[in-house]
Structure 1
Amino acid sequence: MPRVVTLAHYYTAPEIQQMADKVGDSLELSLFARDADADIIVFAGVRFMAETAKILNPNATVILPDAGSTCSLVTQTDVTTLKAWRESYPDHVHVSYINSSAEHKALSDWIVTSRNVDDIIAHLYAEGKKVIFSPDRNMGAYLNFQHGYDMPLWSAVCEVHDKFNQTALDEAFAAVKTAKYLIAHPESPLPVLQQADYVGSTSGMLNWIKTFDKEPDAAIFVATEDGILYNMRLARPDLNIEQAPIYAGCQCNSCPYMKMNTIEAVKRAQAGQGTVIDYLTPADMDAARAPIERMLEFSKRYYA
């Protein structure tokens, strides 16, 4: 019997996470996929994550449960235009967010996740390098604001995180009579991030919740995809945790692509049926692997 390992991102539904051998954020799942002793890796996430697993573990068969599970950061990026943009900055290091296609990664010098992007870009600037950043405009704008960088930015956004807005947050905050906090993922728009008490990766926000030791009746608003709220409430059922509103108080912001990972689709993938990531050539994978491995080596040193 083939050894099947199932990975699930925090943004998948709770019942999908319960089917997984490993649940995590992009960095955790990349490391797990690379080292997995598996014949088949079922990746309950989105396509770029499954591609990354295949790049890092080319001997495994990697299956995406639903062919439609993509990402707006990928669909909003034309790789031919990206290549021309990169070539217009020949003296810059191209840093790309892991939420990108294999072709995109192959045009990059470094890959980053939301957990290590601050440290890696700070490292490059400390070495005297100039940086261009893609594809997430909101994340790049926050880094430029927070650290005074002048990175040229690509102009794609996460369609889920980009819906969070300051007006809706102000209205939600005004309705709360207790203490209130906002934690946010850096894919959110800059006005939201400027208002946040904590900005960080999915795992970073989860850890912030786990260690929260302030007012027990505080309202904690979370500006990210709603899947992680399951993990947060599981870890801290004593806290009042709500997703940040997107408009008119609506707290209903889900990634439609992550939610394509249904129980039925994951079960089919575990049985060997689904979208097999078999279209990447060895040359494609080699080109994309180099900047990913550069990130993983850096992360091994800094997050060991």
Structure 2
Amino acid sequence: MTRVVTLAHYYTQPEIQQMADKVGDSLELSLYAREAEADIIVFAGVRFMAETAKILNPNARVILPDAQSTCSLVTQTDVAALRRWRESYPDHVHVSYINSSAEHKALSDWIVTSRNVDDIIAHLYEQGQQVIFSPDRNMGAYLNFQYGYDMPLWSAVCEVHDKFNEAALKEAFAAVTGDKYLIAHPESPLPVLTGADYVGSTSGMLNWIKAYQGDAAAVIFVATEDGILYNMRLARPDLDIRQAPIYAGCQCNSCPYMKMNTIEAVKRAQAGQGLEIDYLTAEQMDDARLPIERMLEFSQRYYQ
């Protein structure tokens, strides 16, 4: 009997999450994919996530429900140009955010997620290393600002998080008379992040909501993709949780690629149809696996 395991990212629609064996952020799903005893892994997310699952579990068939589910951090990065950029810093460690293609990962020394990026880069600096960071310019700018690093940065952005802006947030805050908070994903622009009460990964923000003990009448604005609001409201229905605006009055910021994971597409993938991640060579997977495994081993040690 064929064993099918379905993974879904927090940014997919609630009905897709309800179809999954595991729902999580990039780090959680990477760890789960590596250990999954599956003939087929259906990854309801975007292509780089499915590629990561294939790299970590090469014996499984990994299927992406919709072939067009990509990420602006991937499409804005020319791998040949990235290679030249990396070669211009021969004495630096290349740290890459997991939101990157397999070819990008293969040019990296370390892979990080939004949950462990602070700790891994701090670890490298403690060892006396110099670091270059790709592909997310906003995340890198925040790290440089927060910790006083001087990392050279690649220049790509998440098209969803980059839409959050300081002016719209100030206007939204001004309309709230009581307590208000902002929690934000580090893919957001620096002016948004510097005004946040908490900056962290998708799971980190969800845990912040779960642990919140302040005024129940407060308004909590969340600067990230709207899919996670389902999980937050499920965990804390007593709270007023709103997506941060991207311009005056608009709380409508969704990742178009995540929303390509429809019920019909996921069902087809579970039946073995969709984009199979079978185009990566053994060499590409080996080169990309090394920096991913470094990250996973660090995370398992650090977060146990």
Give the gaps of 5 or more residues in structure 1. Answer: none
1:248 is displaced (CA, Å) by: 1.5
1:31 is displaced (CA, Å) by: 0.1
Alignment of 1:1-304 (within 5 A): 1-304=1-304
Q: What is the distance in 2 between the residues matched to 1:295 and 1:167?
A: 36
1:42 is displaced (CA, Å) by: 0.1
Q: What is the distance in 2 between the residues matched to 1:16 and 1:190?
A: 32
Q: What is the distance in 2 between the residues matched to 1:149 and 1:104?
A: 23
Q: Secondary structure at the match of 1:195?
A: coil
Q: What is the distance in 2 between the residues matched to 1:267 and 1:206?
A: 28
CA RMSD of aligned residues (A): 0.3
Q: Is the 8 A contact 2:172 2:248 kept in 1?
A: no
* Equivalences, count: 304
Measured against aligned partners, the alpha-carbon deviations of 1:148-200 in whole angstroms (never above 9, x if no partner) come to: 00000000000000000000000000000110000000000000000000000
1:249 is displaced (CA, Å) by: 1.7
Q: What is the distance in 2 between the residues matched to 1:284 and 1:61?
A: 17
Q: What is the distance in 1 between the residues matched to 2:248 and 2:76?
A: 27
Q: Secondary structure at the match of 2:94?
A: strand
Moved >3 Å (runs of 4+): none
Q: Secondary structure at the match of 1:205?
A: helix
Q: What is the distance in 2 between the residues matched to 1:102 and 1:214?
A: 42
1:6 is displaced (CA, Å) by: 0.0
Q: Secondary structure at the match of 2:34?
A: helix
Q: What is the distance in 2 between the residues matched to 1:33 and 1:199?
A: 26
Measured against aligned partners, the alpha-carbon deviations of 1:36-78 in whole angstroms (never above 9, x if no partner) come to: 0000000000000000000000000000000000000000000
Q: What is the distance in 1 between the residues matched to 2:162 and 2:300?
A: 31
Amino acid at match of 2:220: I
Q: What is the distance in 2 between the residues matched to 1:49 and 1:2?
A: 22
Q: Is the 8 A contact 2:132 2:152 kept in 1?
A: yes
Q: Is the 8 A contact 2:6 2:44 kept in 1?
A: yes
Q: Give the TM-score of the pair, scaled to structure 2.
A: 1.00
Measured against aligned partners, the alpha-carbon deviations of 1:241-295 in whole angstroms (never above 9, x if no partner) come to: 0000001220000000000000000000000000000000110100000000000
Amino acid at match of 1:120: I
Q: What is the distance in 2 between the residues matched to 1:281 and 1:126?
A: 35
